[in-house]
Structure 1
Amino acid sequence: MFVILGANGQTGGAVARVLLQQDLPVRVVLRPGRDGREWASRGAEVAHADVHDAAALSDAFTGAQAAYVLNPPDYGSEDMLVSARSIAESYRTALDATGTRAVALSSIGAQHPEGTGNIVTTHILEQVLHTVGASFVRPGNFMPNWLPSLPAMRTGVLPSFFSPLDKPVPHAAVEDIARTVVRELQRPDSRTVELAAATDCSPNDVASAFSAGLGQPVTAQVIERDDWRQALSQWGLPEAALASWVELWEGFNTGYISFEGTPERGETTMNGFAQASVNQVEVNQVEVQQ
């Protein structure tokens, strides 16, 4: 049995689907009150647990060979690092109580204890779960992070916090992350895997990929440092979260946020991701119109 946290999110859902496609037993863990009928219809067991509740997590982990866990930043909390430690400790308690192996979603730059903004939450997760022999997958910048800018790209502009525009940035696709996690869930040992897409891509490369996907010119444009907070505030983030995002972009742009070693390379290219994303948006629009 493989237990999957975050099944209604990007990576958790992708991991659960790959496991089910391989006819492996899956138990998804949803937040209390969330409807699990869709996952049950796919053949998964459904459990409910709050990630701060070690007892509920222990029940969900019981009988499992391995579990996929993640600790996304809690932007609504007054201190996301306190929240991150609470979740990590709950995971550790439950894993230790049940003897379940864990593969945790981490991040590029997680080796640093500070100076990486939101990524510090994954450093905390690694430090806490290292004591129970967890494995960690550290992907580069998520390719889907560019998708909120798709409306702007349709007007010909790709806004970028990354700078300079010709500097390659390690990326990772959700599909590649899922394949890697599924592999690691079935291994008996513990290790850290750094993961990047087929090639690193600069903002200019991303603009070129979406230009091809959209069939129209797209030009990357730097969001100037003085405008970062204003641009980020449009996401409705609290002040503490704004500061964390600013630190993150500074970390990438200075090169402080980088892989510790040589990453594995996934199969997905930015061109392939861009084309698939544009196609999916168009399909969704047609379904809505119908």
Structure 2
Amino acid sequence: MFAIVGAAGNVGYSTSIALRKAGVPVRAILRDAAKAAALKELGCEIALADLQDAEALAKAIAGADAVQIIVPVALKVRDPAEELRQSIDSIARALAQASPKRVLAISDYGAHVTDDIGMPTIFHGLEERLGQLNVPRTVLRSAEHMHNWARVIPVAMASGNLPTFHNVVDMVFPTIAAADLGLIAADLLLRPGEKDLDVVHAEGPRRYSANDVATALTELSGRTIHARVVPRSQWKVTFERNMPGSLAELLIKANEAHNRGGLIDVEPNAGEIRYGTTELIDALQPFLR
């Protein structure tokens, strides 16, 4: 039995589809029963549990041979950063109680860095917390998701300028389609675990710059789009226009680390790198329909 926490999300749903196609049983663990229909059609068993409820989550995981976990960002809570930390603690307590044979944790590029670099540091904490458990685990560190650009596509379409926090618009960075990440996770779950800790990095078929994003949007829309750097002095007000302050702080620090270069990247000499197949332009196309 493969238990997928957050199976209705982009990554979890992709993993669930791949596992069902492989003919293995899947238990889809969801917070919202309203999102269960598509997973039921795949033949998944459904279990309901909130990430903040360790007891319910342990019951949902119980009996599973392998568990995939992901810690989503909750935009609608007062303090998303604290919510992430509480979710990590709850997940760890649930895993300790349920004692699955294997755990695959979706982490983040840069999670190996010990300095505070924002969002990757949250996942550094996740990896450390899981390291306290007596369970073989695969840490699948994900590059930034391509669909994150969807947030600013309406601005780009309206103004002709794509706002970016990358202060060198032709600097390439790792990114991946969420569906590809789910497929890679499924493949890792299906192969026999060989180590107590296996670290894998996942990114797309090639790296892209903000200019590449603008070029893709130009091709998709027929309108000329230029990448425009958001001045550092405007970052705080720009982020906090759309999210609580604690999440804005995590993203500001992460973008500063991106711009320094070499931090939010593959950890040197740490495991394998898997590559997705979805090109950026194909990942962005649905958001222009």
TM-score of the pair, normalised by structure 1: 0.87
**Deviation of the 1:5 alpha carbon:** 1.2
Secondary structure at the counterpart of residue 131 of structure 2: helix
Give the corresponding residue for 2:247. 241
CA contact (8 A) 1:140 1:196 kept: yes
Q: CA deviation at 1:32?
A: 5.7
Equivalents in 1 of 2:188, 2:167: separation in Å? Answer: 34
After superposition, the Cα gap between the structure-2 partners of 1:149 and 1:85, relative to the gap in structure 1 and judged at 3 Å, is: closer
User: Residues 267 and 234 (structure 1 numbering): CA distance in 2 closer, same or farther, change over 3 Å?
Assistant: same
| Alpha carbons of structure 1 residues 167 and 68: separation in structure 2 relative to 1, 3 Å | same
**8 Å CA contact 1:162, 1:222 repeated in 2:** yes
1:67-216 aligned within 5 A: 67-74=67-74, 76-78=77-79, 80-81=81-82, 83-100=83-100, 101-131=102-132, 132-155=135-158, 156-187=160-191, 188-189=193-194, 190-216=197-223
Instruction: Compute the displacement of 1:33 (Å).
Output: 5.5
SS of the residue corresponding to residue 109 of structure 1 reads: coil
1:113 positional shift: 3.4
SS at match of 1:154: helix
When the two chains are superposed, the root-mean-square deviation of aligned CA atoms in Å is: 2.1
- Unpaired runs of 5+ in structure 1? 283-290
Match of 2:110, SS?
Answer: coil
The CA distance in 1 between the partners of 2:139 and 2:19, in whole Å, is 18
Higher relative contact order (CA 8 A, sep 6+): 2
In structure 2, distance between residues paired with 1:68 and 1:80: 21
Give distance in 1, aligned partners of 2:46 and 2:97. Answer: 20
Separation in structure 2 between the aligned mates of residue 159 and residue 37 of structure 1, nearest angstrom: 37
**Alpha-carbon distance, 1:34 to partner:** 4.5
Secondary structure of the equivalent of 1:113?
coil
SS for the counterpart of 1:8 is coil
2:44 is the counterpart of 1:40: no
Does the 8 Å CA contact 1:84/1:124 hold for their aligned counterparts?
no
CA contact (8 A) 2:73 2:80 kept: no
> How many angstroms apart in 1 are the aligned matches of 2:22 and 2:63?
19
Question: Secondary structure at 1:90's aligned position in 2?
Answer: helix
Residue deviations 1:161-215, cap 9 Å, x none? 1120011011111122011100111232341111111111010011111211222
Structure 2, unpaired ranges of 5+: none
**Which position in structure 2 is the counterpart of 1:287?**
none
Secondary structure at the aligned position of 1:259 is classed as coil
Q: 1:17 to 1:216 in 2, by over 3 A?
A: same
- Indicate conservation of the 8 Å contact 2:40/2:46, yes or no: yes
Aligned partner letter, 2:220 = G
* % same residue: 28
1:87 deviates by 2.5
Distance 1:64 1:239, change over 3 A: same
Moved more, 181-190 or 42-51: 181-190
